[in-house]
Structure 1
Amino acid sequence: MKKYVMAGAISSILSYQACVLAQENQSKSDFSKQSYFLDGFSRNNLDQEKVALSTHASRLVVQLATDYQQGMAIDWADYLFSEKLDGIRAIWTGDRLITRQGTPISAPSWFTDDLPDYAVEGELWAGRNRFEHVMSVVMDDKPDDMEWGSIRYMLFDLPNQPHDFVTRFDALVRFVDQTAAEHIQYVAHFPALSESHVQSLLTKVDQNGGEGLMLRKMTGGYDLGRSDNVLKLKLAIDAEALVIGHVEGKGKHEGRMGSIVVKTDDGKVFKIGTGFTDKQRGTPPEIGSLVTYRYNGYTKNGIPKFARYVRIDKSKQ
């Protein structure tokens, strides 16, 4: 039986501070003290050839998380959890950096020089509540060295490798530990002890401005498309919709946008009037743009409840 060891002391109940909250300010050496390791695994066991990522209609087919529903029948001992980072998911194919949609990312050469000659996957991230900053830096065709200095490549998987997640992640940790590049790090993972344990951490993540948690099945392979091997937990749900109209504001918002009218993939039409800054109301998302909104459940008519604006998804236009 494979033995799993957490470097450092193991607590029966992992504190939030020890697991999640500190991640934003940790250095690479700090990360290596916390990660999950697999004894006796040699990185040489991995196929070191460049991995050809599966493509379909010019879009990458990557592993996608399934939304966790409370009460789901899962064995918590089979899963590791990590904080869900609010950045841009990016795949290094072995010779170029691209988004999940296959869009090339014009990163400075120094940013990718230390990446391996096989595929790795992670999040381009600059800390909590800085998605708009990451978007403006990463999606710029003319990379700014100084701006890219604020971006970290937070690795979490090796796509298309024929191994379980713990084996893939262990190899990823070993790679990161061997590179001197401080901007290349890995997302720390920890044991999911129970549903109540994870739900309590999820609440604390939300209170501290985090986006949510991810659960990865330790024995899970890298499935292409939606998979139960990766579960996504959020107190509120994010979704995307197409902007089809603007509604003029009233009262304090007179003379600028009061709300946007959006349409979901399943044809639901509704207004979103909260979540905007004054500046965003002056220059609202254009008709035809794709926006992310956040909501808490549905009305009896199937309309998202308490829908509020989050951002424009320029990477998916």
Structure 2
Amino acid sequence: MNAASRLGPARTHRTLILALLVAAVSGAAWADPHTPPAPAPMLALRYDAAIDPAQYWISEKLDGVRALWDGRQLRFRSGRPIVAPDWFVAGLPDTPLDGELWLGRQRFDELSGLIRRADPQHPGWRAVRYMVFDQPAGAGDFSARLQALQALVMAADRPWLQVVEQRRVTDRAALQRLLDDTVAGGGEGLMLHRADAHWQPGRSDALLKLTPWLDAEARVVGYIPGKGRLQGRVGALEVETDDGRRFRIGSGLTDALRNTPPAIGTLVTYRYRELTPGGQPRFPRYVRERTLP
């Protein structure tokens, strides 16, 4: 009996309807109209220091590409298919999985370039791992889903399919030590899955992220000319957020980016310390171009 059958007819119907509505709102493009789409993913809120971390499973926030397996096709969060080698997806479970395609710490740009090529024959795929951390619409709380996920991965017996390591901490001090160790080793931060939370799409305190900085996205709308040694090159990007706030990002731009900056209209990720009283990000720093769907 699969997870959906154990939920009962009424609850199964509600779960399916919810998944269809969320997928429709997000604009997901599913290849087979006769196959119900995999449920939309859970999305993280930011961890608040008032929250007791002992209630959560803790894992590293991987610097990879979010990938959802719907039982047939590997997809971006938007629902668009990921062009992956046949051997990579062969033998994956026939149930939905949520995870990250990952090459390792601080190798996002390399991974992004590989996926953008859409070349399943590229030898770079041999180093990619699919690091899974949840079962979309899976039965039970996260602890139960984690146990089921470990069994699925073990049965699949594919070396590139792995479960993201999860651990527990006793208090906030232990959580901070784990964050410090992770960041010192080149990691981005931590993810917290509430142990007793049932799966649900969208943002909630069932999934939290903890990093030493804040991050967001904005669209490039112009360029600020450089001065001094940057004469003749881009000094800063002028960007705009979805809610209309405009500001400049100069920190984090390499010489190569100043010579050939992201095109107008490109979505970029930036990091910042906090928001000013006027709602502007303080000390924004360029991270990367958001080139993937």
Q: TM-score range by the shorter chain?
A: 0.7 to 0.9
Aligned to 2:90: 113
* Pairing partner for 1:92 from 63, 69, 83: 69
Counterpart of 2:283, as a letter, is F
| Identity level (%) | 42
Aligned to 2:123: 146
User: What displacement does 1:208 show?
Assistant: 2.0
Aligned to 2:261: 284
Q: Give deviations 1:113-160, integer Å, cap 9, x for gaps.
A: 021111111000100111111111123222233111121100000001
Aligned to 1:215: 192
Aligned to 1:29: none
Aligned to 1:162: 139
* Pairing partner for 1:250 from 227, 235, 238: 227
**Does 2:32 correspond to 1:64?**
no
Aligned to 1:9: none
User: What displacement does 1:245 show?
Assistant: 0.4
Structure whose residues are more often helix by fraction: 2
Q: Which runs of structure 2 are paired with 1:9-158 in the superposition (5 Å)?
A: 46-47=3-4, 54=20, 55-57=23-25, 58-59=27-28, 61-70=40-49, 72=50, 74-158=51-135
Equivalent-residue separation in structure 2 for 1:84 and 1:262 (angstroms): 26
Structure 1 residue ranges (4+ consecutive) displaced by more than 6 angstroms after TM superposition = none
Aligned to 2:35: none
**Does 2:167 correspond to 1:190?**
yes
User: What displacement does 1:45 show?
Assistant: 6.8
User: What displacement does 1:202 show?
Assistant: 1.1
Contact 2:93–2:156 under 8 Å retained in 1: no
Equivalent-residue separation in structure 2 for 1:308 and 1:254 (angstroms): 20
Give ranges in structure 1 of 5+ residues lacking alignment: 1-43
Give ranges in structure 2 of 5+ residues lacking alignment: 7-14, 29-38
Equivalent-residue separation in structure 1 for 2:111 and 2:5 (angstroms): 30
CA shift in 2, pair 1:280/1:144, >3 Å: farther
Equivalent-residue separation in structure 1 for 2:46 and 2:204 (angstroms): 10
User: What displacement does 1:176 show?
Assistant: 1.4
In the alignment of these two chains, the number of paired residues is: 270
Equivalent-residue separation in structure 1 for 2:227 and 2:181 (angstroms): 36
Equivalent-residue separation in structure 2 for 1:48 and 1:310 (angstroms): 44
Contact 2:52–2:172 under 8 Å retained in 1: no
Q: Give deviations 1:180-218, integer Å, cap 9, x for gaps.
A: 311111100000211111112212222222111011111
Give the CA RMSD over aligned residues. 1.9
Contact 1:137–1:143 under 8 Å retained in 2: no
Counterpart of 1:222, as a letter, is W
CA shift in 2, pair 1:197/1:208, >3 Å: same
Contact 1:137–1:144 under 8 Å retained in 2: no
Contact 1:166–1:218 under 8 Å retained in 2: yes
Contact 1:92–1:121 under 8 Å retained in 2: yes
**TM norm structure 2:** 0.87
Contact 2:58–2:166 under 8 Å retained in 1: yes
Contact 1:85–1:211 under 8 Å retained in 2: yes
State the SS of the aligned residue for 1:182: coil
Contact 2:217–2:267 under 8 Å retained in 1: yes
Equivalent-residue separation in structure 1 for 2:91 and 2:239 (angstroms): 42
